Amino acid sequence: MPKYKKLREAIDQSDKLSKEEKTQSVQHIEEWITEDKAFGLIYDELIEVNEVFKEIFKELGLV
């Protein structure tokens, strides 16, 4: 099971978070997952254009 799914389950089962806090937390996780996937797609597409992008991403500390 992916880590984000475990985290979502833990949030849902928490008795220390309000319903609103749980909802907001899950929304943030879903946004981060989407952003991470989008970054991966951008990286892959740019690498196909030119291998130099690998070095640029490394220099920026993004990979």
Q: How confident is the model at residue 2 (pLDDT cuts 50, 70, 90)?
A: confident
12 in a domain, yes or no?
no
5 in a domain, yes or no?
no
43 in a domain, yes or no?
yes
What pTM, to 2 d.p., does this model score?
0.66
59 in a domain, yes or no?
yes
The tens digit of pLDDT for each residue in 14-59 reads: 999 999 999 999 999 899 889 999 999 999 999 999 999 999 989 9
30 in a domain, yes or no?
yes
Q: How many domains does the chain have?
A: 1
Q: Which of 31, 57, 59 is nearest to 44 (CA)?
A: 57
3 in a domain, yes or no?
no
In single-letter form, the type of residue at position 37 comes to K
Q: What is the structure's pLDDT at 1?
A: 65
Q: Which of 39, 12, 38, 6 is nearest to 25 (CA)?
A: 12
The answer to whether 60 and 54 are in contact (CB under 8 A) is: no
